[in-house]
Structure 1
Amino acid sequence: MSLFSENIKYLRIKKEVSQQFVADAVNIPRPRYAKYEDGKNFPPPEILLSLSRYFAMSIDLLLSVDVRKIPMGDLLKLENNRLLLPITVDPLGNNMIEVVTQKAKAGYLNGYSDPEYIESLQQISLPFLGPGKHRGFPVEGDSMPPHEPGSIIVGKYVERLGDVMDGRTYILITKSEGMVYKRLNKNKKNTLVVESDNRFYPPYEVRVSDILEIWEYECSIGRSDKKSESDDTDDVKGMFIELKREIREVKKRLG
C-alpha cells in the first residue's frame, strides 16, 4: 500500500464512515474508491482534489506525509484547503515562530509543507506580533537595505494573493528561485512585479503559478549596528544607476 492509500484509509476510519459514504461524497462508485485505499489504483487529479477537500487535508500532506503521526490539534487550516501548517505554543500560550536558518534554507523548498521538517526548525517566541502564523527567514545579499546578510526577516503568512499590498515587502517562496525578500506590486493579472530597494538591481516579474508561499514583513532581527550610509552617498549611487539606465536606452535605440 502507498502512503496515500494508508492516509485516506486512516482518515476515513477516524471519521467513522464507510467506504460507500466517502465514495458518495466524491461522486464515484464504491469499488473504485476501494481500489484507492487498497493501493491498486491512484485517483485522477479531479478526484484527488475532491478527496483532499472531503478529508480537509492538503494534497501535499496526503501524498508525502504519514498523517497518522501528525497531531491534528496543532495544525492550522488555510483557505481553500491549500495546505496545513503546524502551530506550536510556549507554556504561556504564545505562538512559537519557526526560524529558517541559513543551514536549513536549502531544504525549505522541499520541506515547507512537511510538518516533520517544520518541527525540526529552531523556534523563538515574539508575543508582541499578535495572532497569525509567523516564520523567520534569512537575508542574503545587499538588494534590500538596511537589512544585511545574516539578518532574519519575520513574516506573517499571507493566505490570499489578494491580501498582498502594493509597495509592501514580502518573503516570497517560488518554485524557480526559492526564497527571496523583495517589495511587491500587483499591476498585472497573473504576475507580481518584484522590486529591490537597492536600485542597482532591476525589477522583474514572477508568475503567480510559480509562487508557493508569501510571508508579509512584520519585523526583522539583525546583529549589525553599522551606521547607514549618508544621503550624499545614496545620491552618488543614484546618479550612477541613472547613467547606467540612460546608456542602456541609448544602446537599445542604436541597436
Structure 2
Amino acid sequence: MNKIIHKNIRHLRKLRGLTQEQFAEELQVPRSRIGSYEEGRSEPPIAMLVAFSDLFKIPVDILIKNDLTSAQDHSFIEIGQQRVLFPIQVDETNENVIEVVPVKASAGYLLGYDDPEYIEQLEKIKLPFLPTGKHRAFPIKGDSMLPLKDGSYVVARFVESLDDIKNGTTYVVVTLNNGITYKRVENNLKTQGSIRLVSDNKAYEAFEVPAAEIVELWEFTCSINTQEYDAQELKISSIAQMLTELQVELQSLR
C-alpha cells in the first residue's frame, strides 16, 4: 500500500476547502470511494490518479512519490501547465527554514529548480524575522549590485506571478539564458512583453529579458555578507552609491 498517496489526497482536498462529498461530486465518483482512498483501504487506479493530477494540476509522479502534507496554498509553483508543489519546510519548533543555493551548485540550479529531490538536498537555514512566504537564499557573483560584495547571499521571497512585479525593486531572476541574476527590475511587460534588468553599478549595461524566458522570480528580503568590509571599501562603496544615485557613469573609476 502506498501510504503517501492516501495522505496527499486528504491534504489536497482540505487545501481546496472541500468535504469528501463535494470532492466526490467534482470527480463524479461515490463519496465512499474517496473515503476508502483517504483511509488507505484501497488504492486509486491509474485513471483516478490521472483525474487527481488533472484536478490539482500536479504531476502524477509527484503526487505518489512526495509527501505534500506540509504544503500550504502559496507554496504551489507553476511549471508550464502544471503546478509543482514545494512545501514551505519547518523545523522541530514549527519555524520556516530557507533553502540555500550554494555557489558551486548555482550553475545547476536551472536544471534542478523543478526537481523536488534537488531542492530537498539543499542546505537549510532559519531566519525567524522574515515575513511570510516561501524564501530561498541565492549567491551573488561580481560587483554589479554594489554595495553587495561578491560571495554575498540574497534571501528572497518567491513571487507567484509576473503581474506582481514592483517597478524599481530588486529581484533574483532565474532565466533560461542567464541562470541566476540579481538586478533591479523595470517592468515593461505591458508595453514590450519583457522586463529590463538594471545593475546598480552603472558600469554594467541594462538588458531586456522576454517574459517567456523567465523561469522564476524572487523578491529581495534581506542580504547576508560572508566577508567583512574594510574602511577603504566602505568609503569607496559609499561614493559609488552616491554617484549611482546621481546617474554618473562609473566607467572612468574602474
Q: Same fold (TM over 0.5)?
A: yes
Answer yes or no: is 1:70 the counterpart of 2:45: no
Aligned counterpart, 1:247: none
Alpha-carbon spacing, 1:52–1:205, altered in 2? closer, same or farther (3 Å): farther
Aligned counterpart, 1:162: 163
Aligned counterpart, 1:193: 196
How far off is 1:86 after superposition?
2.5
Aligned counterpart, 1:103: 104
Decide which of 206, 211, 223 is 1:208's aligned counterpart. 211
Count of residues in Structure 1 that have an aligned counterpart in Structure 2: 204
Higher fraction of helix: 1
How far off is 1:142 after superposition?
1.0
Aligned counterpart, 1:28: none
Q: Distance in 2 between matches of 1:173 and 1:207?
A: 12
Aligned-partner SS, 2:215:
strand
Structure 1 runs of 4+ aligned residues shifted over 6 Å read none
Aligned counterpart, 1:87: 88
How far off is 1:186 after superposition?
0.7
**2:95·2:128 contact (CA, 8 Å) conserved in 1?**
yes
Give the letter aligned to residue 201 of structure 1: Y
1:10-68 CA distance string (max 9 Å, x none)? 79x95897xx959xxxxxxxxxxxxxx59xxxxxxxxx9x97541331xxx44xx5532
Aligned-partner SS, 1:127:
coil
Aligned-partner SS, 2:69:
helix
Aligned-partner SS, 2:234:
coil
Answer yes or no: is 1:228 the counterpart of 2:213: no
Aligned-partner SS, 1:116:
helix
5+ residue gaps, structure 1, are 1-9, 23-36, 39-47, 244-255
Cα RMSD, aligned residues only? 3.4
**1:86·1:115 contact (CA, 8 Å) conserved in 2?**
no
Answer yes or no: is 1:113 the counterpart of 2:114: yes
Q: Distance in 2 between matches of 1:239 and 1:198?
A: 9
Q: Distance in 1 between matches of 2:102 and 2:52?
A: 35
TM-score normalised by the chain length of structure 1: 0.69
Counting aligned pairs with the same residue, the percent is 39
Q: Distance in 2 between matches of 1:21 and 1:110?
A: 38
How far off is 1:104 after superposition?
1.8
Answer yes or no: is 1:217 the counterpart of 2:217: no
